Structure 1
Amino acid sequence: MNRPQNWFDAVQHCHQTGKSYVLITLLATAGSTPRNTGTKMVVTSDEAFDTIGGGHLEHLVTRNARELLLDTHYSQNNGQKIEAMPLDSKLGQCCGGAVHVLYEVQGQHQQTLALFGAGHVAKALIPIIAQLPLQIKWIDNRENMFPEHPEQIPSNVSTILTDEPVYELKDLSDNAWIVVMTHNHQLDFDIVHKALTLPNIDFVGMIGSETKARRFKTRLAHRDLSEAQVQKLVSPVGELSIPGKRPIEVAISIAAQLVQMLNTKTDTSEVPEKDSAQKAQQNLWLQVKQLEKQHSS
């Protein structure tokens, strides 16, 4: 994917890739300044997009933005902050003007999904679920199974080619979901067995028939797993009310279950997030009104 060249493309890029960012705006300017009121840029933990004029001002603002990304008060609540910055010798600027900088922190807390297997169902599934708020790790041990050209892979999907797919489980983020659909039943079993023992995996789904699911659960019960761990396996995975065995039909079934899970997760946390956002907007409005009074006096 090409690197974004302006701030609005960068915002879209960050949302697609699940990357936290700070949108920076010159909220007000006075006197001689490098850029005009309304100029914006985007800063992430390791990149910056667009410019508010460069120089020491941009260097300091970029540093401040990254400090806000590390501050959980701002990153977890999508906090906002206004900072007054005179462009004088202390800042290493000789413009003589002043700016008020608005920082809008956007913490991306997207759900991580690891999809093991790149066969027909996975190829049908990826284009559907890539449109959901998911960070997807697509894992297989066969080099020729992934799309040949990188531009064919959605920006929120990272492909992982590895001889040991099981080892990828330990690197998943907390509360990760996994869906298993490899070409090898023993590999399926090894992935599922390991996943059920890890505290960072919230959901373990596996493609297959009810017969396969019963056999796996019987084998798992003989591998020192508790009944609660064994029952955590969801197989057959998918919304079973959706009929059909074609790859696209199975993919739609799995996507439907993931949509249900995402919305259930959102419903449980939506109210506190709305309250925090409303408070932040109210505080920002008060700060803007104070700035207007200062400039008019």
Structure 2
Amino acid sequence: MMHVVLFGAGHVGHALVKVLGTLPCVVQWVDARDELFPDEVPANVQIEATDLHDAIVDEAPAGAYFIVMTHDHSLDFALTQRIMRRDDFAYFGLIGSKTKRVKFERRLMERGVAAQRLTEITCPIGVEGIADKAPWSIGLAVAAQLLRVKEVAARVGAEASRTVCATA
């Protein structure tokens, strides 16, 4: 089951949670601004009204799906830097443009992140071909991308199992 850690309770975060609430996953929804969370959320969504972002990143299980879409570029960068310390996530998506990606990549390399690791960041996020920037469109596109990543990982895992069994 996917464990999604979603940073940001803005309009896009709300739209994404509505979709993720219908899928077989657990969602940790993180934002320091408690007043932005709705009174009710789907049963698979856990609200984390905290500014202890580093602890949330560090305590997420291996294979987590991280999504960063906060209201603050500096917070997005701090989260990106923290997530990139890990080497065990299934997905890391960062909301933003190609320009934001280039700026973040340069800053990460200046701070010692190896260039080959930068391919692990998905930015812009969402399945390709959806140009609409409305929150619900982005939410659907990101949810579809998560499902695709999960399916590809399952296929790769199944193929690896078959290879191991065939060579045993």
- Equivalent residues in 2 for 1:1-297, closer than 5 Å: 110-148=1-39, 152-269=40-157
Does the C-alpha gap of structure 1 residues 154 and 271 become closer, same or farther in structure 2, counting only changes over 3 Å? farther
Counterpart Cα distance in 1 of 2:147 and 2:91: 14
What is the aligned residue count?
Answer: 161
Greater C-alpha Rg: 1
**What's the CA shift for 1:199?**
2.6
| 1:238–1:217 CA distance, 2 compared to 1 (3 A) | same
Contact 1:166 1:194 in 2 (8 A): yes
Task: Report how far residue 267 of structure 1 moved.
Answer: 2.9
Identity %: 30
Tell me the CA shift for residue 234 of structure 1. 1.0
Match of 1:212, as an amino acid?
Answer: K
Measured on the aligned residues, the alpha-carbon RMSD in Å equals: 1.8
Question: How far 1:249 moved relative to its partner?
Answer: 1.2
- CA displacement, residues 6-31 of structure 1 (integer Å, 9 cap, x when unaligned): xxxxxxxxxxxxxxxxxxxxxxxxxx
Q: Which amino acid aligns with 1:251?
A: G
User: Structure 1's 231 and 265: CA in aligned 2 closer, same or farther, altered over 3 A?
Assistant: closer
CA contact (8 A) 1:197 1:229 kept: no
Shift of the 272–194 alpha-carbon distance from structure 1 to 2, 3 Å rule, reads closer
Q: Are 2:7 and 2:68, in contact at CA under 8 Å, matched by a contact in 1?
A: yes
Distance 1:200 1:272 in 2: 18
* Runs of 5+ unmatched residues, structure 1: 1-109, 274-297
RCO comparison, higher one (Cα < 8 Å, 6+)? 2
Could you tell me how far apart the structure 2 residues matched to 1:264 and 1:202 are? 11
Q: 1:272 and 1:202, CA in 2 relative to 1: closer, same or farther beyond 3 A?
A: closer
**Post-superposition offset of 1:272:** 9.9
In 2 relative to 1, CA 271–193 (structure 1 residues): closer, same or farther, beyond 3 Å?
A: closer
Amino acid in structure 1 at the alignment position of 2:16: L
* Counterpart code for 2:22: Q
Q: Given that residues 21 and 44 in structure 2 are in contact (C-alpha distance below 8 angstroms), is that contact kept between their aligned partners in structure 1?
A: yes
Structure 2: gaps of 5 or more residues? 162-168
Deviations 1:17-61 (A, max 9, x none): xxxxxxxxxxxxxxxxxxxxxxxxxxxxxxxxxxxxxxxxxxxxx
Q: How many Å apart are 1:271 and its aligned residue?
A: 8.2
165-174 vs 117-126, which moves further: 165-174
Q: Deviations over 1:151-204 (max 9, x none)?
A: x21111111011222321111011111010001100000001110111332321
Partner of 1:234: helix, strand, or coil?
Answer: coil
Residues in 2 aligned to 1:202 and 1:223: alpha-carbon distance in whole angstroms: 23
Deviation at 1:137, TM superposition (A): 0.6
Task: Output the TM-score relative to the length of structure 1.
Answer: 0.51
Relative to the length of structure 2, the TM-score reads 0.89
